[in-house]
Amino acid sequence: MSTPVKWRNLSPGDLDTVLPEIEASNVDEAVGSALRAFPAWAGTPLEERIEQLSACREALRDQSGAMIDRIVAETGKRIVEARGEFDAVLAKFDFVFADAREVVDGRLVTGGPFPAVVRLRPRGPAAVVSPFNFPLHLGHGATLAYLLAGNTVVLKPSPLAAWTVAAYFDVFKTLLPAGVLELVQGGAAEGAALCGDPRVRSVCFTGSIAAGHAIAASIAGDHGKVLSLELGGKNATFVFADADPVVAAKGVAESVCLGAGQRCNATSWVAVERSGFEEFALALTHAMTPYVPGIPQMEDTLLGPLINQAAVDRFVGACRAEDCKWRVHGQVVGNVDGRRGNYVTPAIAEFADCRAYQASPLSRNEIFAPLVALVPFNDPCEPVTTFNALGFGLTASIYTASRSRFETVGSTLRVGNLYHGIPTTFSPSTLPFGGVGLSGNGHPGGRGFIRFAGDEQAVQTAT
């Protein structure tokens, strides 16, 4: 369904709360403004860009309480998680500043016939299309990288997080030169127009596979436009019989329920060695017990609401699957402490084996809700083959007491982020983040994204 010219979001945790009206933007005007601002910004020395963006950081810090409250109200994210997201936004500045100082102005290359440097040259206006589940953090990292590389940026948030990102944009708009950062509000039509605009020279998109593929197809003829995609995953946790089942279960429960399961790196399925399957399944059922729906503004809430009714409907449809056994039935709660909201309880499905799971629609569709499938295996080749065959490749975690087994199994997984005894949702800003296959092209976020924010230029001199 397309986004109307004007709309108001409902707060997912309190559907009686109607948020301020948002109006769709004129894409042509936004891109034109970014294009006009590009030459001056590209010519601004790196340290001056850093100084101006440092001022933006301090202004954001001053508004931290209001920003966190907006994230919670508009997306339903638990306040603890929203606070963590905002802390990551502030920390991201120093990470990207350090990356920029390393690559933008040039690194010396020795050993060749002439003295040489390799430096990063800006391309022009960049489009950053950000999702609702991390309304500030994910778009922010790419925005910083593009700006520090000398590009101007047009930021387009999900319409489900438009109010939150508008406040973020207002901070930058008052402190950066006109046109350096522009905001486009709207839905799929505005996103397609922005990404397809020939004046836009870079695109960073985080969202659905269908939308990502549509963008890639629309710009396929423009070989100079660089596209970065992060499209989600069907992430797996592998639990071997020598692992501590309680520790593994706590890790899985966390990675299923953080963000109400609305994370691209959430665990979708758990492959469990058959000899330890029942023990782990019981441990996971117990570990899920504390994750009851709660009002997102409360500090002790562990499971917030889903983003909207469409997400609830998708969860309900997934819970009706008949090709599995339901160890824990997911339920729609709808009302928590007198507040109407998009609240659901976690669900645990159980499949007979990897072949049965691979044949199920639950293995192919990203549910984006607190639902996980348990799949027993005898030989680790079975879940590895299934994981690779599904085509996603964002995150995978392996719980085993054997380092050699972790190395052996891990080396066979086609995945961008691999963990040993760590939940699949643990993705610190100190590391690159991205997936392969259906999950994207490997470099949309995390540390070092600035390498893709401009074009490398090799410079040699005879003197």
Rounded Cα distance, 166 and 235, in Å: 32
Quote the pTM value.
Answer: 0.96
Query: What one-character-per-residue DSSP string does 148-174 give?
Result: HTT--EEEE--GGGHHHHHHHHHHHHH
pLDDT at position 409 over 90: yes
pLDDT of residue 334: 86
For residue range 290-303, list pLDDT tens digits in order: 999 999 999 999 99
Instruction: Average the pLDDT over 93-122 and give the result.
Output: 94
CATH of 6-231+441-460, picked from 3.40.1160.10, 3.40.50.2300, 3.40.605.10, 3.30.1490.20, is 3.40.605.10
Angstrom CA distances, 65 to 84, 161, 414, stand at 12, 17, 40
Q: Catalytic pick from 264, 319, 324, 354?
A: 264
DSSP code for 2: P
Average pLDDT score, the chain: 96
Where b means 16+ CB within 10 Å and e means fewer, 314-323 reads bbeebbebee
pLDDT of residue 104: 96
For residue range 329-357, list pLDDT tens digits in order: 999 998 999 999 999 999 999 999 999 99
Contact in structure between 183 and 169 (CB atoms under 8 Å) = yes
Q: Is 230 an annotated catalytic residue?
A: yes
Contact in structure between 281 and 374 (CB atoms under 8 Å) = yes
pLDDT of residue 463: 75
Instruction: Average the pLDDT over 69-77 and give the result.
Output: 98
Contact in structure between 154 and 125 (CB atoms under 8 Å) = yes
Q: Any idea where the domains of the chain sit in the sequence?
A: 6-231+441-460, 235-428
pLDDT at position 76 over 50: yes
Instruction: Average the pLDDT over 69-87 and give the result.
Output: 98
Q: Is 278 an annotated catalytic residue?
A: no
pLDDT of residue 359: 98
Measured N-to-C along each axis, helices 209-218 and 188-196 cross at an angle, to the nearest 10 degrees, of 40
pLDDT band at 4 (very low <50, low <70, confident <90, very high): low
Sign, Cα dihedral of 257, 260, 265, 267: positive
pLDDT at position 1 over 50: no
Residue 417 forms beta bridges with which residues? 395
pLDDT of residue 95: 96
- Determine whether 16 is exposed, middle or buried from the number of CB atoms within 10 Å of its CB (0-12, 13-18, 19+): exposed
Sign, Cα dihedral of 121, 124, 125, 128: negative
Contact in structure between 324 and 330 (CB atoms under 8 Å) = no
Instruction: Average the pLDDT over 108-113 and give the result.
Output: 90
pLDDT at position 3 over 70: no
Contact in structure between 2 and 187 (CB atoms under 8 Å) = yes
Compute how many other C-beta atoms are within 10 angstroms of the C-beta atom of residue 202: 27
DSSP code for 426: -
Rounded Cα distance, 81 and 63, in Å: 17
**Cα distance between the two ends of the chain:** 61
Instruction: Average the pLDDT over 406-435 and give the result.
Output: 95
Shortest CA distance to 204 belongs to which of 283, 278, 145?
145
Question: What are the two backbone dihedrals, phi and then psi, of residue 400, each rounded to the nearest 5 degrees?
Answer: -160, 150
Contact in structure between 394 and 439 (CB atoms under 8 Å) = yes
Token readout for 237 is: 């946790």
Instruction: Average the pLDDT over 58-68 and give the result.
Output: 98
Sign, Cα dihedral of 179, 85, 423, 254: negative
pLDDT of residue 211: 94
Residue 183 forms beta bridges with which residues? 155
pLDDT at position 171 over 50: yes
pLDDT of residue 2: 56
Domain spanning 235-428, CATH class: alpha beta
Q: Catalytic pick from 230, 254, 350, 382?
A: 230
For residue range 438-457, list pLDDT tens digits in order: 999 866 678 899 999 999 99
Shortest CA distance to 85 belongs to which of 43, 42, 138, 124?
138
For residue range 24-53, list pLDDT tens digits in order: 999 999 999 999 999 999 999 999 999 999
Contact in structure between 245 and 279 (CB atoms under 8 Å) = yes
pLDDT of residue 96: 97
- AA identity, residue 430: T
The reply to whether domains 6-231+441-460 and 235-428 share a CATH topology is no
The secondary element (H helix, E strand) that includes residue 42 is helix 27-42
